[in-house]
A and B are shown apart, each in its own frame.
Chain A
Amino acid sequence: MVSDLFPTPENTSEPQPDSNARRSFMKQAGGILGLALAPPLVAQAERLTAYSRTIEGATDLTLRINGQTRTVRAEPRVTLLDALRERLDLTGTKKGCDHGQCGACTVLIDGQRVNSCLTLAVMVQGKEITTIEGLAQGDELHPMQAAFLKHDGFQCGYCTPGQIMSGVACVSEGHAKTDDQCREWMSGNLCRCGAYANILAAVREVASKG
């Protein structure tokens, strides 16, 4: 296999004896940091109570979306995607397949890209959810959005929010260092219009400005 697509023993640093401990500490710290960005006491309190019981039928779920706390009344079966699109008027996140096979519904949860169609809304309470609507600061586009515009990284636009969210994560993960690596790590987002070469150019440009 091509070596720059994935980590290899050669390009992975020797683990330190405490690397596990450190890793899990950092993970925990990330979680706490994520909470600290939310109104801390309320979110934490809700989180503790919400998790200690069985949820049945439609209940009020508290979601932290794009820096805002939103309440949505929904059954446990409601996916994050349908909560966003059908209940919170956040239709920027798209439904292409509803089965984790296309990537159109990609959002960030605590900074990690996931398919919101296979994520239950009830399970992401207390986490920081970022959708396409949360990237721009007012009229100022996120660099990834601007790069998609510049490089014409889309045609119909339907896969675009997912591509952009995936691109943001791809860069932050460090998986856009070469063209081939970026192609591979952007392959979880289908584009039927065939904008791949332009999507690649956009993500690589943002990565290079890193």
Chain B
Amino acid sequence: MDIEPTFSKTNPTAGVVGQPMSRVDGWAKVTGRATYSAEYSGLPGLVHAVLKTSDVAHGRVQSIDVSAAQRAPGVLAIFTHQNLPKLAKTPNSPDDRKAFVSSPMGFFPMESDQIFYAGQPVAVVVADTLERAQYAASLLKVSIVPEATISSYLDPKAQLYTPKTVKGMPGVTKRGDAQEAFAGAPVQLTATYTHATIHHNPMEPGATTAHWEGPNRLTVYDSTQGVSETQKTLAAMLGLATEQVRVVCKFIGGGFGCKAWVWPHTTLAALVAKAVGRPVKLVLTRPQQFTSMGHREEQAQTLRLGATREGKLLALIHDKSSTTSPWDDYAETNTRITNMLYALPAFEGTYHLAHANVMTSTATRAPGDMPGAFALESSMDDLAYQLGLDPIQIRLLNYADKDPSNGHPWSSKSLKQCYQRGAELFGWNQRNPKNGQTRAGKTLVGWGMATASYPVHNSQGNARVRLYADGHAVVQAGATDLGTGTYTVMTQVAADSLGLPPENIRFELGDTDLPSTQWSGGSTAAGRVSSSVYLAAQDVWQRLIKVAVQDNKSPLYRAKIEDVMVVKGQLLFRTDPDTGEAFGEVMKRAGMSDIEGSALGRYGSSYEAPRAAANADPNKKDHASEHSMHAFGAHFCEVHVDPELGTVRVTKWVSVIAGGRILNPKTARSQVMGGSIFGIGAALMETTERDPHLARYTNADLAGYHIPVNADIPDMTVEFIDEHDPYVNAMGVKGIGEISIVGTSAAVANAVFHATGRRLRSLPMTPDKVLAAMREPV
């Protein structure tokens, strides 16, 4: 195809895409019939594996006394570093690790006696029932000779260094001479922002059920955001061919980044299942969840912002210090957003890491952009106050008409509309420009806002459409639905692409036997999978047009293929849209019960936009890769701060997001509210405390680690800006899962500042910090 089809071209009239359809998987979820990875109870001879983890954070295993556990009833096997079957390839070898698609740490436990972090697995117990496995694990006597422990980058023993790269980005980024520009700036702001360790805590803990159906045939039911990545990584680790491993994940109880990778427990489940010759189920306990699937690292960011007296930014110097594991140079890439969000002539960003006795941190909803936006959007708020400008005004003053980090034009950007609509919905023009002025009873009331942005990450994947002559279709892609609505929105896309009612579509996902596609992560799934589904449907039509034009009974007989178009399932002449016939007629005459099409869909700059864009000139180098692609948005927040009790309650919330085509406003609204609530949690209550001497978490459960409850959350308003982006993909879709959290904690902090006149720069803003701030002079 020279001209790649785009949804907006082939579906000019409204269908079910863009309609607030209820979730197609909703019935299964509200009746308890949705099957999650620990719920394949029908497997023959299924047994239970339980992890035993290290008490101490650093040391060497001296001995593990298994005798009592071995005698315990129901125990089938106990694995330690001394008898665990060897991996074919291991993350512990940097060369081996290159073979992995999705391994989040340069370390795999139980391959030696070394202990690097508290909670590191030291043994796996397999028994016939869960209770027996758990009890036997408690009987293991593990002796570890402790060694000196470093608890975080704040530990006096920690040594900060600047890595060469973090997540593929340079450890130091320079654009212009930021130091000089800052030194010469008439207005200078310097501030340091700190973040606690945060855990994703999906409601479903990590869970794996591993079933060896033959010596070289493994099926794994895993709570993973990417079945394909898990399949390829497990195959490499276990020394199997990719097709010998099947990974299934039909339902996943939340992920938020922590289930985007293959963590040790999944591989351990597969290893021990093979060794005991039975299907094995391994589910992390909630405390184990805190030390098994990564976290958002604790960090400090210092921002030095230089501006003109009118409020135009001149320079930004951004330093981030954070904790990483003993083996990896991992940090969230906070400077990505600080380098691109505003028209900024000079930028310098530097990462400082310290190795500590903690597992590698990992992607957590909007990695880097979320904390980066907290620092930047708080600083912008400070700048606005210092110069007597409205917070929206300072942002408009520094509005970036192109991406300052690379000079590229935006593929689309509707941020001004987000500010405007958000302000309208919130009633922002009623805002008192002075802070600390509004009271409601004993509380101080404040309003704050912040900008949101999240990039379009390149990704690609396949989909397959099987259309039946009777007007039904099965549509497949090996994607996952994290609760984001993938099942539903792909059903809508398929319905419109095929001209069928959505109830005639069955969309299947979550299985490596289906066409491969990448993970649900980085807000890529909606754009990628919808494009591949749409293009697979176009492939069906192309195949069917070929059948029709060779059929002498068809009104399209002998037509040129390019002269035929398909509108709502009707094959029609482009020049004479009244002539043609329904696809079912073609198929029936040809004796075809069904026809299949498939396609590769691309998201981001690898999408062949010039061939897709309207009126594209094939000679003009208008490549998608020459555009900067981001979703944008704005969050508005009202808080009530009790200055004596130190409590902060969010009482009103408005989010307006420009995320390209919104496939389903109902599920999209839910997703944006969810991201905002995740951000409110980080802003006000979430922190995992690690003992500063023992480097072990002291609140690793859901009583000690507070995620927001229903009573924390007010009415929320979410709207979307109608945005058409021809460059991002065939559907014009940008992801919204992550932008929904970016800027949220700054919106809350800015509202607290407006309420109290006190700037809180340390998250979470718990009562102790609010009280301390209230003691400071305004």
Contacts and interface: CB of A to CB of B under 8 A. Distances in A.
Q: Do chains A and B touch in the complex (CB under 8 A)?
A: yes
B239 to A, nearest CB: 32
Contacts of A85: 38-39, 41
Interface string A120-158: 000000000001110110000100011011101011111
B253 A158 contact: yes
Max chain A C-beta neighbours (<10 A), residue from B23, B26, B484, B710: B710
9 contacts: A78-B131, A94-B253, A99-B701, A102-B203, A152-B670, A157-B253, A187-B711, A193-B254, A194-B676
B39 A91 contact: yes
Given A91-B39, A96-B702, A155 B674 contact: yes
B86 to A, nearest CB: 31
Given A159-B203, A192-B707, 5 more contacts: A99-B703, A133-B31, A152-B26, A188-B709, A194-B676
A116 interface: no
Q: Interface extent on A, as a size class?
A: 35 or more
A44 interface: no
A141 B28 CA distance: 11
Nearest to A145: B30
Contacts of A191: 203, 710
Given A86-B129, A154-B30, A95 B709 contact: no
A86 B716 CA distance: 39
A104 B708 CA distance: 15
B268 to A, nearest CB: 20
A149 B701 contact: no
A208 B147 CA distance: 62
Contacts of A97: 286, 701-702
Contacts of B669: 152
A196 B23 contact: no
Max chain A C-beta neighbours (<10 A), residue from B253, B256, B703: B253
A141 B30 contact: yes
A29 B22 CA distance: 42
A92 B702 contact: no
B451 interface: no
A190 B35 CA distance: 20
B204 interface: yes
A104 B285 CA distance: 14
B628 interface: no
Given A154-B483, A156-B204, A183-B711, A132 B253 contact: no
Contact of A194 (B31, B131, B205, B708): B708
Contacts of B707: 190, 192
Interface of B: 22-23, 25-36, 38-39, 41-42, 129-131, 200-205, 251-256, 283, 285-286, 482-485, 666-667, 669-671, 673-678, 701-703, 707-713, 715-716
B754 to A, nearest CB: 23
Contact of B36 (A146, A158, A198): A158
Contacts of B484: 155
Main secondary structure of the interface of B (DSSP, over half): loop
B35 A91 contact: yes
Nearest to B664: A152
Nearest to A162: B203
A194 B674 contact: yes
Interface of A: 75, 77-78, 82, 85-86, 89-99, 101-102, 104, 131-133, 135-136, 141, 145-146, 148-150, 152, 154-161, 164, 179-180, 182-184, 186-200
Contacts of A90: 32
A145 to B, nearest CB: 4
A86 B673 contact: no
Contacts of A86: 41, 129-130
Contacts of B28: 157
Given A92-B33, A101-B703, A159-B203, A149 B674 contact: no
A82 B256 CA distance: 27
Contacts of B42: 89
B32 A132 contact: yes
Contact of A136 (B31, B678, B716): B31
Contacts of B30: 132, 141, 145-146, 148-149, 154, 160-161, 164
A98 to B, nearest CB: 6
B492 to A, nearest CB: 14
A152 B667 CA distance: 7
The 4 closest A-B pairs by CB, nearest first: A92-B32, A158-B253, A155-B483, A156-B483
Max chain B C-beta neighbours (<10 A), residue from A133, A135, A157, A164: A157
A153 to B, nearest CB: 8
